[in-house]
Chain A
Amino acid sequence: MMNLRRPLVLALTGCSLAVGAGISIYATNAFAQPEERADAALDMLVHEPPTMEDLENSNLHPELKKVIRYGHDLFTNTQQLRDEYVYNDMNCSSCHLGEGRVPFSAPVWAAAITLPDFRGKNQHVNNLEERIAGCFAYSMNGVPPEYGSDEMLALSAYHQWLATGAPMYPDKPIYGRGFPAPDEPEQSPDYARGEAAYQANCAICHQADGSGHYENGEYVFPPPWGDGSNNWGAGIARVETMAGFIYQNMPLGQPRSLSDQDAWDIAYYVSSQERPQDPRYTGDVAETLELFGPTFHDRSLYGQTREHDGHVLGDHDNYGEKGDIQPWNVGMPRFENLADE
């Protein structure tokens, strides 16, 4: 049913398991010195990004420090851009835990040393700003700040500064990159099992109905589905990515505490719920699936029929809070005048 194409992810999962998989090893010091690590022999790029305290103690220009601090602030409190660039209940740090620094939580400095590069999702070469713009259009269900704007520059500067000291275009795989999915479960992911595991492990924070938790009008726990969550085009709408996020990071503070089976089941359950429409929607879910299946939706449940109630996922024109506002970056043509090779 699911087409699990993830050679890179598999390779990384293999490596991370080889670390000894000790939650204790991993959790007590996520950035242990390379010489102390069992995975040093695996010849990966291990990078420990600087902390905000390092920033204060650095010799960077005071004006640059200000901009990096602003980038950090936007990253961890993206809700300050609500109704301008962000139309859901998420912050960047809702998924990129630990201020975008932590391995196995899609640490964002990796983008700064691997881009510009070709990106399968939009089939052209993207730079860091375009990559961040993608997060706004899909994960934040919003509209990106303009390229070169204060917000975009500050976010880029924060990403790039986190990569301080890491080699550009590294020739080794990056330790802790992305959300490596757990091993294939023994049983195919299952909706009912996923629902039970979600209610047992996730609902205390994210609520039984997936709406997340606001307290005194302030966001605390992000909604895993529904209008307040990422839209269908976000990377984490893919089942394997959600399974990786859950397995490596949830429940908060207890990485890799769930079984492979629970992580996949919960991911399948969460991925089987509705969320705002993909901004690439053509007006027809089957057509959209055909267009973006090979590059993306073959790994999500978009356009699939939910077994227990016959609902076709993504078959609606609900774009969430942003209504009919179209993110300007989606489908923007690039490099059209370069000859094919």
Chain B
Amino acid sequence: MNNKSLLRFSLLVGASLTTAVALAQQGDVERGEAAAATCTACHQADGSGMHVPGGESWPRLAGLNADYIVKQLHDFKEGRRQSASMMAFANMLDDQQIADVAAYYSQLEMTPGQGGDEAEEALLARGQQLAERGDWNAYIVSCQSCHGSGGTGVGSDFPGIASQHAGYISAQLTAWKNETRSNDPQNLMGAIAKRMSDDDIQAVSAWYATQPAPAAQESAQ
């Protein structure tokens, strides 16, 4: 191994150790519930958030992967993810409280996504196509190839998007497209969002908002 790659490898090991330490911090659900008092104004007491037409939608946090929430809160705090309002709130939480609120929200029962019900059939059909098969003519890979079948999320890096609010999903995809959000690993989301048209973004956002949470999917089967 030459010096340059050795350095790169050490940086990599260092980075993963740091991440591992941050993630290893045990969250406590009860403490998290108390610390989350400051979150409920927007994210609601049940973690359902809210689709706000024409405004800034607040994402559903209930049932999201805890490590994903931890990373996002740290990213807000440390400026890797831009949001004036969330930076202020994330700054109120110390590392332990971040782990606690993440543990709290992750164990709440998922709530339905909002903002997709009035979408037209053709838009939903396009959304389903992008979600399940992508549009390779535009080199848009399917959402499910990373977010998992049904968009229910894969590990802590690929969050669940089924049953998320349309306004939130579309705002995030647009932010990636415009490079105002870039805290995804290896630009995996950014590269794809840049190839999506505004209609594509509306379509997948509406589609996933109408998709049931995993628990509901199971009971429906």
A residues near B (Cβ < 8 Å) are 26-31, 48, 51-53, 76, 97-99, 101-102, 190, 192-193, 196, 199-201, 204-205, 213, 215-216, 218, 220-221, 251-255, 257
Contact = CB atoms under 8 A, between A and B. Distances in A.
B86 interface: no
Contacts of A215: 148-149, 152-155
Given A193-B5, A216-B214, A218-B148, 19 more contacts: A27-B139, A28-B195, A29-B138, A30-B139, A51-B137, A52-B133, A97-B136, A99-B133, A192-B5, A193-B2, A196-B8, A199-B12, A220-B146, A220-B148, A220-B154, A221-B154, A252-B141, A252-B146, A252-B188
Nearest to A93: B145
Contacts of A193: 1-2, 5
Dominant secondary structure at the B interface: helix
Contacts of A76: 133
Contacts of B214: 216
Contacts of A221: 154
B134 A98 contact: yes
Nearest to B125: A53
Interface in B126-153: 129, 133-134, 136-139, 141, 145-146, 148-149, 152-153
A28 B136 CA distance: 9
27 contacts: A27-B139, A28-B138, A28-B139, A28-B195, A29-B138, A30-B139, A48-B137, A97-B136, A98-B134, A99-B133, A192-B1, A193-B5, A196-B8, A196-B9, A199-B9, A199-B12, A200-B8, A204-B186, A215-B148, A215-B154, A215-B155, A216-B148, A253-B139, A253-B141, A253-B191, A254-B186, A254-B191
Contacts of A53: 129
Contacts of B157: 204
A53 B133 CA distance: 11
Most buried by B among A28, A101, A253: A253
B54 interface: no
Interface string B8-19: 110010000000
A325 B177 CA distance: 49
Contacts, number: 86
B55 interface: no
Size class of the contact patch on chain B: 20 to 34
Interface string B184-195: 011110011001
A102 B155 CA distance: 28
Contacts of A204: 157, 185-186, 188
Contacts of A190: 1
Contact of B136 (A26, A101, A196, A205): A101
Interface in B106-130: 129
A213 B155 contact: yes
B186 A196 contact: no
B12 A200 contact: yes
A37 to B, nearest CB: 14
Contacts of A30: 136-139
Given A30-B136, A216-B152, A252-B141, A196 B5 contact: yes
A31 B136 CA distance: 9
A176 to B, nearest CB: 12
Nearest to A200: B12
Contacts of B192: 253
